[in-house]
């Protein structure tokens, strides 16, 4: 199963913890091919949908933007990264929340990471 996740949810850590079950596929380079208001992952999701490949979406609650901003700063993300993921937070959250093609939506609490919901991911 493919799990499309928002930045900062712990996908790299999860892939390191469970290398036989999860691979971290980074899609941020696609942002250079997208129109400005479009979240970077949308083109990848569009291709999955066109090929009828099922996927899950995993993202934080909309109201935890300050938690994620702090998380990004503490892990050393650039200002450009912050401009994208904090500056376009509402656009990302709207796109993720309104996605009707995902097989499942997993919404993380402020201090949750993918590794906290790994059983849901592995059994679905």
**What is the tally of structural domains in the chain?**
1
Rank 26-35, 38-47, 102-111 by mean pLDDT and report only the highest.
102-111
Instruction: Specify the residue for token string 């503490």.
Output: 74
The CATH number of residue 8's host domain is 3.40.50
Which residues, at least 6 apart from 38, have a Cβ–Cβ distance to it below 8 Å? none
Q: Which residue stretches of 58-117 are H helix? A: 65-74, 79-85, 89-97
Residue 23: predicted pLDDT? 85
Domain range for 105 is: 2-123
User: What are 49-94's pLDDT values in tens digits?
Assistant: 999 999 999 999 999 999 999 999 999 999 988 998 999 999 999 9
Which pTM value belongs to this model? 0.83
Query: pLDDT category, 47, cuts 50, 70, 90?
Result: confident
Closest among 72, 53, 75 to 64, alpha carbons compared: 72
Q: How far apart are CA 64 and CA 49, in angstroms?
A: 28
């Amino acid at each position: 199963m493919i799990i499309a996740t928002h930045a900062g949810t712990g996908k790299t850590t999860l892939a390191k913890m469970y290398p036989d079950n999860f691979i971290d596929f980074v899609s941020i380079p696609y942002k250079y091919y997208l129109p400005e208001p479009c979240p970077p992952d949308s083109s990848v999701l569009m291709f999955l949908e066109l090929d009828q490949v099922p996927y899950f979406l995993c993202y934080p609650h909309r109201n935890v933007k300050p938690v994620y901003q702090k998380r990004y700063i503490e892990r050393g993300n650039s200002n450009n990264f912050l401009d994208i993921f904090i500056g376009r937070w509402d656009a990302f959250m709207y796109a993720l929340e309104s996605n009707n093609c995902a097989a499942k939506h997993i919404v993380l609490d402020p201090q949750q990471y993918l590794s906290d919901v790994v059983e849901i991911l592995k059994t679905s």
